[in-house]
Structure 1
Amino acid sequence: MNDLHARHRRVLPDWLALYYDQPLEITHGEGRHVWDAQGNKYLDFFGGILTTMTAHVLPEVTKAVSEQAGRIIHSSTLYLNRPMVELAERIAHLSAMPDARVFFTTSGTEANDTALLLATAYRRSNTILAMRNSYHGRSFSAVGITGNRGWSPTSLSPLQTLYVHGGVRTRGPYASLDDSAFIAACVEDLKDLLGHTRPPAALIAEPVQGVGGFTSPPDGLYAAFREVLNAYGILWIADEVQTGWGRTGDHFWGWQAHDRNGPPDIVTFAKGIGNGMSIGGVVARSEIMNCLDANSISTFGGTQVTMAAGLANLSHLLEHDLQGNARRVGGLLIERLRAAAAQDPGVREVRGRGLMIGIELTRPGTDEADPDRAAAVLEAARAGGLLIGKGGGHSTSALRVAPPLSLTVAEAEEGAAILESALRSTQ
């Protein structure tokens, strides 16, 4: 392992982050568990950054990939592709958009790039509204709209980005207000901002901020924003890379918590749909998707083997009601974690919905982030046999808990007990 770590450091970038003082090599998995190169078994509560959505080595996905690979793996979008058409049909239907069109990419970053291209071309504007504490990917344009300093290495951008209040409920100038007053204040701030700039192309927003530490506004904020946006003809892009496919339990898409005005103009997705295979994509109304007046194809987006995986994975998720499981088991898990954290003065908040739970750590008696303790809890949880993630806008001081959606009650209890012990040992 030390040799592999040394080899990694010799040939890969210094900024390519690794978890743990002694980085972990995961060699295989099954269900909600993975094993490392030393044979240690772990309960996986992070799923490759919310990507192993249903289960490790899900038989239906493995079979679909193997069978498709035995026929043809790839041909590009220059040829008709049955698995791509079939998955696009299912996603278009699930989007609830009228006359929806789907374009497949290889990642969430690329999906958000495509959404920005569509919105700016459609609206003839390079101004974008984004949320503070947001994250939308690691490409040049996606970094340019990311509102989280820890993930934005340059201020250069092809876009003019204006940041809006509201993505974080419990911090900032409106934190002390109740939900309705919070929404009203954020809406007034948006109106004021739009009075000082040329009309932007779009607002891009994560319904639950992922890298930002699983923070979210009160339900209904984006519907209230949209009433203002509609008056200016500004599009709404919902970044569902982490929230889509039922992870929040209450809804299939995160935007549905803000449902008064129907689906967004553009939705981006990735991560969980491929259960580890590289699938991203954009779904939009036809007039928006078809607005480009130049040629475009994708070499790897929508390739047959990934589409076969996505079809099998989506079928399994729907047939086994994993959204309902996320709601039921996630509800139990968050209450268990809140009980465990109740006596810990360093836990500022346990938040989330479904199987998307954040635990924000601060120095006791303050609102000051405690990234050192977050790192220590990560290490202690690993020692106890549990893998979790971390994030947050105020340093990486929020623990991120996002198991596969097939998590059982017994596994939720086991993981909560390990995490409780890790929190207790680092106080």
Structure 2
Amino acid sequence: MSGELYDRHRRVMPDWLALYYDDPLEITHGEGRHVWDAEGRRYLDFFGGILTTMTAHALPEVTKAVSEQAGRIIHSSTLYLNRPMVELAERVARLSGIPDARVFFTTSGTEANDTALLLATTYRRSNTVLAMRNSYHGRSFSAVGITGNRGWSPTSLSPLQTLYVHGGVRTRGPYADLGDADFIAACVEDLRDLLGHTRAPAALIAEPIQGVGGFTSPPDGLYAAFREVLDAHGILWIADEVQTGWGRTGEHFWGWQAHGSNGPPDIVTFAKGIGNGMSIGGVVARAEIMNCLDANSISTFGGTQVTMAAGLANLSYLLEHDLQGNARRVGGLLIERLRAVTAQDPGVREVRGRGLMIGVELTRPGTDRADPDRAAAVLAAARAGGLLVGKGGGHDTSALRVAPPLSLAVTEAEEGAAILDDALRSTR
């Protein structure tokens, strides 16, 4: 059955639309932390539709909210008052920490980042943007133009002038051998030098932990140190929290909070987990930035009633059940378990991450060269063992990405680690 569907897929879908596995998987339903394929086989889901199923598959509170709202009205556009949209915006504004915050809802993280770039460049009257090497910010024309990961940026054409900054990857690059404090100092000095050779940029956009880049991150404090330099030049800071937001990193509700207490970013973008599978993205910014546009705008599908109902129910569940705390506790256990089982594997360069956002980087033994073939083999072997994980990385896609729903139980973490251990052993 899946072979027949795959043939149909190839006849009507673009060649560049990525699929996992040589024999692609059709997922038909899910519950909790598990999904089932078309043949009825059950899998422990450690990727959650690319970090999107944040709380659980088929969470009753969310499905009930969606069903009840769909029975009333699904959509009316932003041309009319929308109570669920206002209610979710109020909650997101409070949680953002941004003073006098305004919220604009979109349908995806790509569109959220696109909106943030529009706001920043308009507010600053500059089309120059700073971005991090190895970054990923979406698939729109402007977003691929600021993506610092060649594998996900299909064109060099862009409406923006993009300058790439050091620091998003701690263990690679010219500063990798430095201690954390010296690493930060070197990256800051590089930023100062860069700013001395260009017209003032509109903003720096950065993921606190790079998602598609393989769950890499700088030492804590880097972006706070960058912020001092940015503020001196009037440059805005955009935190791309599409993958790191809502408590996934365990220690903090937002990824940017790991970088010091000198205030929130000027703009925060979000998406993925807040909808638990429904299409919600958005931008939070202080009023003077959000209101800088001098033309009318709407969003036909951003903030539609049914997605907002899902977001409200999902966010309530997350907060009431302290899923951030669960990500910290169970994620800490899982990362230590993965470090233990990979300690003797010469092809595992690093196990890194925070909370339930963990990367396992694979390289050819004895080198720093990526091993994408083994990464693909481990992905397939894990699937055969009943576990779904993702992959990514800026060095030829050789990092496994482990990001289960935040309600993951300890027993499920142990089960998933054991399956991944077997998959790694079978591919040495």
- Relative to the length of structure 1, the TM-score reads 1.00
Hey, what's the Cα distance between the residues in 1 that align with 2:421 and 2:241?
30
Q: CA deviation at 1:176?
A: 0.1
SS in 2 for 1:27: strand
2:60 is matched with: 59
The answer for the alignment partner of 2:202 in structure 1 is 201
Aligned counterparts of 1:420 and 1:186: Cα–Cα separation in 2: 36
**What is the CA deviation profile of residues 142-162 of structure 1, one whole-angstrom value per residue up to 9, with x for unaligned ones?**
000000000000000000000
Cα deviation, 1:307-354, whole Å, max 9, x if unaligned, reads 000000000000000000000000000000000100000000000000
Cα deviation per residue 1:72-108 (whole Å; 9 max; x = unaligned)?
Answer: 0000000000000000000000001110000000000
Identity %: 90
Q: For residues 364 and 12 of structure 1, what CA distance do their matches in structure 2 show?
A: 37
The 3-state SS of whatever aligns with 1:323 is helix
For 1:402 and 1:66, the matched residues in 2 are separated by 27
| Distance in 1 of aligned mates of 2:339 and 2:82 | 47
Q: Which residue of 2 aligns with 1:404?
A: 405
Q: Secondary structure at the match of 1:119?
A: helix
Residue of structure 1 in register with 2:177 after alignment: 176
Counterpart of 1:260 in 2: which secondary structure? coil
Matching residue of 2:23: 22
Aligned to 1:72: 73
Name the SS of the counterpart of 1:348 in structure 2.
Answer: strand
CA offset digits 1:206-245 (Å, max 9, x no partner): 0000000000000000000000000000000000000000
Runs of 4+ aligned structure 1 residues displaced above 4 Å come to: none
SS at match of 2:327: helix
Mean CA deviation greater in 253-262 or 405-414: 253-262
Q: Tell me, in whole angstroms, the C-alpha distance in 1 between the residues paired with 2:208 and 2:219.
A: 10
- Structure 2 runs not aligned, ≥5 long: none
Cα deviation, 1:12-55, whole Å, max 9, x if unaligned, reads: 00000100110000000000000000000000000000000000
SS of the residue aligned with 2:260? Answer: helix
User: How many equivalent residue pairs?
Assistant: 426
CA distance in 1, matches of 2:260, 2:91: 21
CA–CA separation in structure 2 for the residues paired with 1:395 and 1:213: 10
| RMSD of Structure 2 on Structure 1 (CA) | 0.3
Partner of 1:33: 34
CA distance in 1, matches of 2:135, 2:129: 13
Q: Distance in 2 between matches of 1:64 and 1:325?
A: 24
Query: Once the two structures are superposed, what CA deviation does each residue of 1:114-164 show, in whole Å capped at 9, x if it has no partner?
Result: 000000000000000000000000000000000000000000000000000
SS at match of 1:261: coil
The separation in 2 between residues aligned to 1:309 and 1:382, in whole angstroms, is 30
Q: For 1:348-399, what per-residue CA distance to the aligned partner results, in whole angstroms no more than 9, with x for missing partners?
A: 0000000000000000000000000000000000000000000000011000
1:98 corresponding residue in structure 2: 99
Give the SS at the match of 1:62.
helix
Distance in 1 between residues matched to 2:396 and 2:61, nearest whole Å: 39
Distance 1:222 1:39 in 2: 46
For 1:123 and 1:17, the matched residues in 2 are separated by: 36
Question: Counterparts of 1:335 and 1:260 in 2: how far apart (Å)?
Answer: 28
Q: CA deviation at 1:251?
A: 0.1
Measure the CA separation in 1 of the matches of 2:389 and 2:96: 30
Once residues 22 and 39 of structure 1 are traced to their aligned partners in structure 2, the CA distance between those partners, rounded to angstroms, is 16
Secondary structure of the residue aligned to 2:300 is coil
Matched ranges for 1:255-270 at <5 A:
255-270=256-271
- Distance in 1 separating the partners of 2:36 and 2:294: 49
* In structure 2, C-alpha distance between the alignment counterparts of 1:14 and 1:58, rounded to whole Å: 34
State the partner residue of 1:156: 157
By how many angstroms is 1:261 displaced?
Answer: 1.2
Report the Cα offset of residue 259 of structure 1: 2.5
SS across alignment from 1:70: helix
Which is worse superposed, 372-381 or 251-260? 251-260
Deviations 1:275-298 (A, max 9, x none): 000000000000000000000000
Q: Distance in 1 between matches of 2:70 and 2:122?
A: 37
The two structures have a TM-score, normalised by structure 2, of: 0.99
- CA–CA distance in structure 2, aligned partners of residues 360 and 18 of structure 1: 20
Q: Quote the Cα distance in structure 2 between the aligned partners of 1:186 and 1:389.
A: 30
Q: Cα offset for 1:260?
A: 2.5
| Structure 1 residue 299 displacement after superposition | 0.3
Deviation of residue 256 (structure 1)? 0.2
Q: 1:412, CA displacement in angstroms?
A: 0.1
Q: What secondary structure, in the 3-state scheme, does the structure 2 residue paired with 1:10 have?
A: helix
Q: SS at the partner of 2:350?
A: strand
Q: 1:271 and 1:371 mapped to 2: Cα distance?
A: 26
Q: Structure 1, residues 160-190: CA drift from partner, whole Å, max 9, x if none?
A: 0000000000000000000000000000000
Q: 1:417 & 1:310 partners in 2: Cα distance? A: 33
SS in 1 for 2:331: helix
Structure 1 residue runs of 5 or longer lacking an equivalent are none
Q: Work out the CA distance in 2 between the residues paired with 1:133 and 1:73.
A: 38
Separation in 2, partners of 1:45, 1:8: 25
Equivalent-residue separation in structure 2 for 1:265 and 1:79 (angstroms): 28
Q: Does 1:124 align with 2:128?
A: no
Aligned residue number for residue 383 of structure 1: 384
